Structure 1
Amino acid sequence: MLTALSIRDVVLIEALDLDFGPGLGVLTGETGAGKSILLDALGLALGGRGDSGLVRHGAAQAVVTASFEPPAADLAALLDGNGVEVEPGEPLLIRRIVKADGGSRAFVNNQPASATLLREIAPRLVEIHGQHDDRGLLNPRGHRALLDAFGRVDIADAGRAWSAYREAESALAAARAEIETAARDREWLEHAVGELRTLAPEPGEEEALADKRRSMQRAEKVADDLAAIDAHLEGSDGGLAKLRQAARVLERVAADHPALAEALAAVDRAVTEADAAEDSLREARTALSYDPRALEDDETRLFELRAMARKHRVQPDDLAALADDLAARLERLEAGEGGIAKLQATVKTAHAAYDAAAAIVSDQRRAAATRLDVAVANELASLKLDAARFKTVVAEVAAEGWSAAGRDRVEFEISTNPGAPFAPLTKIASGGELSRFILALKVALAETGGAATMVFDEIDRGVGGAVASAIGERLARLAESTQLLVVTHSPQVAARGAAHLLIAKSSDGTVTRTGVRHLDEDDRREEIARMLSGATITDEARAQADRLLETA
């Protein structure tokens, strides 16, 4: 629900702050007072065109701020999905700025937003119905959803059946495309599968072979060095034998001098360390031993794996999976029409299920259309449209138009004169008739929900008396379930309002301004009397105004 509207420097409005409440709010004023400016300002906040012509002469920019009650969960989710944070329980603020030199900016809850986002959320906040409105009820694209809501049409089963049908069709199309492609590549596919099966790659094999190769290459490098070390240490002429000989000689003379004893001890330690070195060398030689033929075989296998991976543009570890995938493709190709036939049967079954579910939806829509036609017809006579007829068209569309919502096209049509053909609302209804048709529809569809705020611009144009009273009565009834703002020239409609705003133009001789003020009971009586009598308000007009207010 719209709770407040703040306008700065829009055309003739210099500064205006308005509060709105629930129920029926009426806006009145003399012709040319600026009622359209107020609606233009609201439309600007809801994503309308940011025309610099809206900026008041002499001002740098125009600013409109609209405040709404905390948004419902679905709207909050939509805003959140577009990067606009919404605090639970906080009002929704929309601000639009238009500069005099061109360009505009939009903000939602003080966060930058695009005009496109404003236009997306606008239908969830406000419906504006005017003389030339081409949205809302006049847009056939929304008629099916309105009829479904009115008739409580359940499309869930059709939606699930549609998803299953589309998935089956996609699987069939993919299989056909794959078989067609595979058939063109059969020779290559058979060759590739044969190569991979012969190679028989395994996951992790490339890394294991590379590690083993590196180890054998290191062993090959140190083999000559180990042989040289053996020559120096082992054998009768090796270093270790010489140390042992020196130790035996020292043993005979060690008692002759302390230094000789120390030398013997040092040589004994050297022999011990040399023995340990010899053991370590033996262990290393065993660990680093390699078979040159094994190294050659491992290198050949490693290079084959890497060459095959380069050929198929995959990692070596992915060759095994590729082999399985290509083999499966070849198997499906060889299965041929058998697999296609199975998928075709699945498509046929899914199509039949969707056909049955969509038929139920269509039946529900046709039944709902009949009830809606009766409901609208009951409203037309009182609105001076007794010669008009209303019809809800439910027609099946071509297969390319089928969807999860069924296979129906829904459109509201009217015939305004006896014998005249039915046609879309906008094709044959005049401005006044069109507004009254919209009102009749809204009353009939009152329980289907919609925007929390509705605006009717001069719905009573060209009518008066009993028709104006009927319009007022229906507006008041509609306002019991939603906030309604009505720009009116009809005293019968104005008298029904729960709140009354007067739009007036004033001038100081150089500057003309438009202002709006809430009327109290006395001022409201005077305004309705003016609407009844014109420029000169008579006592009789005031008395008539009192009667209208009393019976409202």
Structure 2
Amino acid sequence: MIAELTIKNFAIIESLSVSFDKGLTVLTGETGAGKSIIIDAIHLLAGGRGSHEFVRFGEKRAELEGLFLLEEEKHPAYKVCQELGIDIEDEMVVLRREIHATGKSVCRVNGKLVTIALLREVGQTLVDIHGQHEHQELMDPDLHLSLLDQFGGVAVQKELKEYRNIYTSYKDVEKRLLELTENEQKVAHRLDLLQFQAEEISNAQLTVNEEDELLDERNKISNYERLYQSLNNCYHAMHGEQKGLDWVGQAMSESEGLEEIDKNLKDVHEIISNSYYQLEELSYRIRDEIDQLEFDPNRLDFIEGRLNEIKQLKRKYGTTVAEVLEYASKIEEELETLQNRDSHIHQLQESLESLKQDLALEAKSLTDARRKASEKLMKSIHKELKDLYLEKAIFDVNMDVKKEKASGDVVFGKNGVDIVEFYLTTNPGEPLKPMAKVASGGELSRIMLALKSIFSRHQGITSIIFDEVDTGVSGRVAQAIAEKIYQVSVDSQVLCISHLPQVAAMSDTHLFISKEVSGERTKTKVRGLNQDEKVREIGRMISGVEITSLTKEHARELLEIAGSIKQG
């Protein structure tokens, strides 16, 4: 749910901070007070399209920030944020967006900079906005398949997962077969290239540690004089009269027998003796190193040439010798495939045909699961429509199989072979038609609300916003819409802008939006209403400007009805 919204320098809002609670929050106020501006702010915060025109006149930038609380461990926001490398701590997600007067947008999710597209990915899992006139996702036939799958739950998701496992293998074999059956000239060019590359790497006779060994040897030869001088000085510092080993040897002689005088000095002779013999052994090693030292300019030239050869191969085939050898192994496999092309084509064709048969069986199982889900969905939708006084309306899930136009062959896609579109008729005797082409006005509001009542339980979105979706209705239909919006709020937090007193009466929280002129500038304010203020505001919504005692009595009656409905 959205817990808090902060807005600065956005349209006519100078500075505003609003806290939201669970359940149904209704926003009311005079036309132009800024109700829709608050919804626009949430829309932009969730990744909607922005414009520099939203920046308050005379300011450099608008700032929007929203705190969302995730109360379910399996909330879809966790998965999206994990894929984007965004950490979620304490079950909180903070979205922030700055819109500059220059048109630039800066977006952050939990403090991490993201693009608008990535902000939208996260935002879509947190908030679902339904406007008065815009086409909802529920009206978009391209999304009806995913909505049906969501409604189908575990049964459909299990079949879809099994289908996709085989589909991935099928597409992989299909891709490899396509590569082998390309035109002869392209295959011949590829074969020549691979043979050249394989021969070039093979002739180099690379070994994994060769480069490191050559670098060490080059460093040794290049620094021959310094190495010889240092080793020679070390040796002569230890060997010879009055040199290091002489003095240590004298110390060893002097320390012999000390333990007979003082037991605490027992280890002195031993330590000095060990040091003497270690230094003596080391001096012999240094002497041998000096004897073996040799400056060979020809060897240095060979090393430089060999390192350059390795460098060129790494530039072409990998960043390390190991990667070059790995690439060589990979192209050897491809070479073998191309050289025995006909045999591999035959094997792949057989494999593809076998996978296609398995895919067809899995597709049928998936279709069957979807048909069962569609029957349950139709029953659920019809019940919701009846509650909204659209008992004559007929809702249908139209399912068809995707086929090639020319050949008529079934087309296997990532989500199966099914085409799903919601159909509807609201008048008896009229044929079923695509839903987006049938519904309009008040019917559209009710149909959308019926669908949202069903799908909100399956989509996992924490906050649903209705922006004047109750336009064009009144009377008993208005009461039914109010009750339905409240039902949706039981499973999801709902924010609703409304002009219907019936909807306002059903609210758990009632926010009043007003505007005032201060210093020749217009400002928007938001405040929560207590019970008496709520009665007065609902009375205003019923009668208009003049609020009589009868109007207030009607408002109280609406609140009492709403209370009894909630308890029921």
Q: TM-score, normalised by structure 1?
A: 0.71
Post-superposition shift, 1:442?
A: 1.4
Q: Cα gap change, 1:397/1:526 in structure 2, threshold over 3 Å: closer, same or farther?
A: same
Post-superposition shift, 1:148?
A: 1.0
Post-superposition shift, 1:509?
A: 8.2
Instruction: Give the letter for the 1:367 counterpart.
Output: K
Q: Cα gap change, 1:122/1:320 in structure 2, threshold over 3 Å: closer, same or farther?
A: closer
For 1:395-410, list aligned pairs within 5 A: 395-398=400-403, 402-410=412-420
Instruction: Give the letter for the 2:484 counterpart.
Output: R
User: 1:475-494 deviations in whole A, cap 9, x for unaligned?
Assistant: 11111111011111111111
Q: Cα gap change, 1:178/1:342 in structure 2, threshold over 3 Å: closer, same or farther?
A: farther
Q: Percent identity?
A: 35
CA distance in 1, matches of 2:556, 2:444: 31
Post-superposition shift, 1:168?
A: 2.3
Equivalent position of 1:381 in the other structure: 386
Equivalent position of 2:529 in the other structure: 519
Post-superposition shift, 1:500?
A: 0.6
Contact 2:24-2:495 at 8 Å conserved across structures: yes
Equivalent position of 2:283 in the other structure: none
Equivalent position of 1:343 in the other structure: 348
Contact 1:201-1:320 at 8 Å conserved across structures: no
CA distance in 1, matches of 2:495, 2:145: 26
3-state SS in 2 of match to 1:529:
helix
Equivalent position of 2:545 in the other structure: 535
Counting matched residue pairs gives 454
Post-superposition shift, 1:470?
A: 0.9
User: 1:157-200 deviations in whole A, cap 9, x for unaligned?
Assistant: 1011111211222332344359876668999999999x99xx99
User: In the alignment, is residue 92 of structure 1 matched against residue 93 of structure 2?
Assistant: yes
Contact 2:148-2:373 at 8 Å conserved across structures: yes
Contact 2:25-2:494 at 8 Å conserved across structures: yes
CA distance in 1, matches of 2:327, 2:94: 57
Instruction: Give the letter for the 2:367 counterpart.
Output: S
Q: Cα gap change, 1:541/1:170 in structure 2, threshold over 3 Å: closer, same or farther?
A: same
Q: Cα gap change, 1:102/1:178 in structure 2, threshold over 3 Å: closer, same or farther?
A: closer
Equivalent position of 1:239 in the other structure: none
Equivalent position of 2:138 in the other structure: 137
Post-superposition shift, 1:385?
A: 3.0
Contact 1:179-1:332 at 8 Å conserved across structures: no
CA distance in 2, matches of 1:354, 1:407: 10
CA distance in 1, matches of 2:378, 2:147: 13
Instruction: Give the letter for the 1:31 counterpart.
Output: T
Equivalent position of 1:59 in the other structure: 59
Equivalent position of 2:168 in the other structure: 163
Contact 1:179-1:333 at 8 Å conserved across structures: no
Q: Cα gap change, 1:499/1:314 in structure 2, threshold over 3 Å: closer, same or farther?
A: closer
Q: Cα gap change, 1:325/1:543 in structure 2, threshold over 3 Å: closer, same or farther?
A: closer
For 1:420-459, list aligned pairs within 5 A: 420-459=430-469
Q: Cα gap change, 1:40/1:386 in structure 2, threshold over 3 Å: closer, same or farther?
A: same
Q: Cα gap change, 1:164/1:329 in structure 2, threshold over 3 Å: closer, same or farther?
A: closer
User: 1:65-103 deviations in whole A, cap 9, x for unaligned?
Assistant: 1111148665345335445443x2152222222233433
For 1:261-280, list aligned pairs within 5 A: none
Q: Which one of 368, 388, 395 corresponds to residue 390 of structure 1?
A: 395
User: In the alignment, is residue 3 of structure 1 matched against residue 3 of structure 2?
Assistant: yes
User: In the alignment, is residue 20 of structure 1 matched against residue 25 of structure 2?
Assistant: no
Equivalent position of 2:81 in the other structure: 79
Equivalent position of 1:252 in the other structure: none
3-state SS in 1 of match to 2:490:
coil
Q: Which one of 360, 365, 383 corresponds to residue 360 of structure 1?
A: 365
User: 1:351-409 deviations in whole A, cap 9, x for unaligned?
Assistant: 00011001111111122222212221222233243443322222222369633321112
CA distance in 2, matches of 1:41, 1:380: 32
CA distance in 1, matches of 2:430, 2:44: 39
Instruction: Give the letter for the 1:29 counterpart.
Output: G
Equivalent position of 2:122 in the other structure: 121
CA distance in 2, matches of 1:486, 1:324: 63
Post-superposition shift, 1:49?
A: 2.6
Equivalent position of 2:228 in the other structure: none
User: In the alignment, is residue 371 of structure 1 matched against residue 376 of structure 2?
Assistant: yes
Instruction: Give the letter for the 1:341 counterpart.
Output: H
Post-superposition shift, 1:62?
A: 2.0
3-state SS in 2 of match to 1:357:
helix
Q: Cα gap change, 1:123/1:138 in structure 2, threshold over 3 Å: closer, same or farther?
A: farther
Contact 2:28-2:512 at 8 Å conserved across structures: yes
CA distance in 2, matches of 1:81, 1:421: 45
CA-based RMSD: 4.1
3-state SS in 2 of match to 1:445:
helix
Instruction: Give the letter for the 1:36 counterpart.
Output: S
Post-superposition shift, 1:139?
A: 2.8
User: 1:507-544 deviations in whole A, cap 9, x for unaligned?
Assistant: 35833322211111111111112212221112222222
CA distance in 1, matches of 2:520, 2:480: 43
Contact 1:200-1:320 at 8 Å conserved across structures: no
Contact 2:148-2:374 at 8 Å conserved across structures: yes
Equivalent position of 2:556 in the other structure: 546
Equivalent position of 1:254 in the other structure: none
Give unmatched runs, 5+ long, in structure 1.
212-283, 285-302
Contact 2:425-2:432 at 8 Å conserved across structures: yes
Q: Cα gap change, 1:510/1:159 in structure 2, threshold over 3 Å: closer, same or farther?
A: same
Instruction: Give the letter for the 2:558 counterpart.
Output: L
Equivalent position of 2:251 in the other structure: none
3-state SS in 2 of match to 1:437:
helix
Instruction: Give the letter for the 1:147 counterpart.
Output: L
3-state SS in 2 of match to 1:479:
helix
CA distance in 2, matches of 1:349, 1:49: 47
Q: Which one of 470, 486, 491 corresponds to residue 480 of structure 2?
A: 470
Post-superposition shift, 1:338?
A: 3.9
Q: TM-score, normalised by structure 2?
A: 0.69
Post-superposition shift, 1:434?
A: 1.9
Post-superposition shift, 1:335?
A: 5.0
CA distance in 1, matches of 2:100, 2:68: 24
Contact 2:180-2:338 at 8 Å conserved across structures: no
CA distance in 1, matches of 2:29, 2:317: 77
Equivalent position of 2:34 in the other structure: 34
